[in-house]
Structure 1
Amino acid sequence: MNKPLRVAFFPDSFLEINGAAMTSQKLVGYAKKNGYPFLCIHAGRKTEIIQDETVTYLSLKRSPVAIKMDEDLAYDPLFQRHSTRVIRELVKFRPDVLHITGLNDVSITGAYLGWKMQIPVIGSWHTNIHEFAAHRLAKMFSFLPASYVSKITNFAEKKILDGSVLYYKIPKVVLAPNQELIDLLARGTKRKAFLMTRGVDTETFSPAKRTVSDGVFRFGFVGRLRAEKNVRRLVDLEKKLLEAGQVNFKFLIVGEGDERGFLEKNMRFVEVTGFLDGEQLAEAYANMDVFVFPSETEAFG
């Protein structure tokens, strides 16, 4: 019987609250459930190593100069100071392959050590960082004429995408969540590219967990409240409903981010819960009558 691959995983998001982190957690959970040898190297609040059955976690603390990129995500330009510690764990673990996930400090360290130690690398694409950057730049330069903003964002988006594709030439194999990205990466990197699928836990997320019966129609959104999620479109949607004479509705918005204040200030019938998880999140989904997702930057489509 073939032995399972020994994988050392370098996720850019793991303890954070976002889709990429959830995907990473599910991957590690799958390895643990099936008894696969797995080393997960991630950023954390402190540097420590934890053994959980067949899974080893190496948490590495970011330095005080780390640059905040989101509510709970940062980039540490000094992260490679941990390389000696990581090499020690890699030598002990003896991985067959390293798995990197993106252009952040943790995965860059993994890519470097894969090259240094001559360990094969696989890469997975989780975030359309080029589109995220374009949306944030558009918000940052919104005081400029639209034509100037368009030139700035188009230039930035193209250059960041080119840089990302160049980075994904490092792995021998790349995984992507939709066919468009598979084709883009296969064409740009000349590497083999495969579909990375996802699913829904229908036991946790079930209509049976609905708790409201007040007859109010609920529009739901779940995600980070950031410019790249295009959440201001929810304000436009509410205005259209009010102009049509509709008042028996409510927006149930689950998430956190710097757009929260704008939404709460400019919407009449809205409840913003902040981050939810587990049963609270399942209940929130069950209480929605329709899911509204205005983002145009989703890697999973």
Structure 2
Amino acid sequence: MRIAIVTDAWEPQVNGVVRTLQSVRQVLEKQGHQVLVISPDRFYSVPCPTYPEIRLAMVRSKTIGDLLDEFSPHAVHLATEGPVCVAARRWCLKHDFPFTTAYHTQFPDYVEARSGVPAEWVWRYIRWFHEPAQAILASTESIRTSLRAHGLSRVRHWGRGVDLANFRPDATPHPAIAGLPGPVQLYVGRVAVEKNLEAFLASGHAGTKVVVGDGPARATLEAKYPDVRFLGSMFGAELASAYAAADVFVFPSKTDTFGLVMIEALACGTPVAAYPVTGPVDILTPQTGAMDDDLDAAIAAALTCDSAACADYGRGFTWEASARQFLAALAPIDEEARAA
């Protein structure tokens, strides 16, 4: 099967959307499918306002169409709501190509957090973008319920996975973290305002706080919280070693749709502390983490969880299962449409 994935999030960005697309693509290609990724690195781009690390590609609909024509896909998936996917959406609608979309990010909440624009205004755009899709893929029931509440009914489940070759309970603890005064409380992810990271950094539980990741808020937070260890970005086995060295993984975000880092931490045997919001409420169990509106209370409770139970639970999330769900949701393009 030839599958075209169009996305505004791709390398060198480091986030859950990119990691999900990369992981599913890898599984699909191992299964013999051909996957074309149409991403911003192919086109002229400009920095995203307030978030220059993200590039917004300037591309015409015809340019996307030429790439799709050459590839002649059996199915098209639009992964994000940015300009590359808007151009692809326009071309697909004009040429009667069915397509699927995905709701990876609480985009309305992110925009409100970064700019003050009311989230409900952004929901109007979200509805416009996703409404023509044959299926809207979402990772949790909370998000699917939210999409339905905003008038988008054609939702399908698309779960997430863990690279179990790297993220496992016997990973060697990271030397920069092992031996720090405990309990070691770890955050992994973008260092940005929408991640609510300061709620974790300002929390009062004893021990050492460690931040793995980078982003536009890092310099400010590093200066404000000198006792916190900021270690920059890590990947693969090194990231697994960071999870393995921590006593608890703290997930302070209130705007994520899933939280891929949570299941990576769990697969390494590290319990999770979080707020009771979308993502954590869909993933965590009483045996694998704790949720509380008081983050200090969540951290204290999570520290009592059993590491083996966390690892067992984390192993249940596989990219193979995620790829099967993705394939099952795709909307086939008939031969007449592809030949037109």
Question: Is the TM-score greater than 0.5?
Answer: yes
Q: Which has the higher contact order (CA 8 A, sep 6+)?
A: 2
| Separation of aligned partners in 1, 2:189 and 2:238 | 14
Equivalent residue for 1:98?
A: 76
Q: What RMSD over aligned residues (CA atoms) do the two structures have, in Å? A: 2.0
Equivalent residue for 1:113?
A: 91
Deviates more, 1:286-295 or 1:83-92: 83-92
Q: Which residue, 6, 9, 14 being the options, matches 2:5? A: 9
How far did residue 191 of structure 1 move? Answer: 4.1
**Gaps (5+ residues) in structure 1?**
45-59, 138-152
Q: Which residue, 211, 226, 230 being the options, matches 2:192? A: 226
Equivalent residue for 2:103?
A: 125
Matches within 5 A, 1:266-281: 266-281=224-239
**Gaps (5+ residues) in structure 2?**
259-278, 280-340
1:136 matched to 2:118? The reply is no
Could you tell me the percent identity over the aligned residues?
25
Equivalent residue for 2:242?
A: 284
How far did residue 127 of structure 1 move? Answer: 0.6
1:75 matched to 2:75? The reply is no
Aligned length: 254
Matches within 5 A, 1:233-272: 233-237=199-203, 240-241=204-205, 246=206, 249-272=207-230
Equivalent residue for 2:334?
A: none
Matches within 5 A, 1:29-178: 29-44=26-41, 60-63=42-45, 65-68=46-49, 70=51, 72-76=53-57, 78-80=58-60, 83-137=61-115, 153=116, 156-178=118-140
Specify the code of the residue in structure 2 equivalent to 1:196. W
Relative to the length of structure 1, the TM-score reads 0.78
| Separation of aligned partners in 2, 1:274 and 1:190 | 38
1:180 matched to 2:139? The reply is no
8 Å contact 1:235–1:266 — kept in the other structure?
A: no
Q: What stretches of structure 1 move > 4 A for 4+ residues in a row? A: none
| Separation of aligned partners in 2, 1:133 and 1:188 | 17
How far did residue 235 of structure 1 move? Answer: 2.7
Aligned to 2:85, the other structure's residue is in SS state: helix
Choose 1 or 2 for highest CA Rg.
1
**C-alpha offsets along residues 177-227 of structure 1, whole Å, 9 cap, x if unaligned?**
111221232454454211110122233112322145526221100011111
8 Å contact 1:96–1:120 — kept in the other structure?
A: no
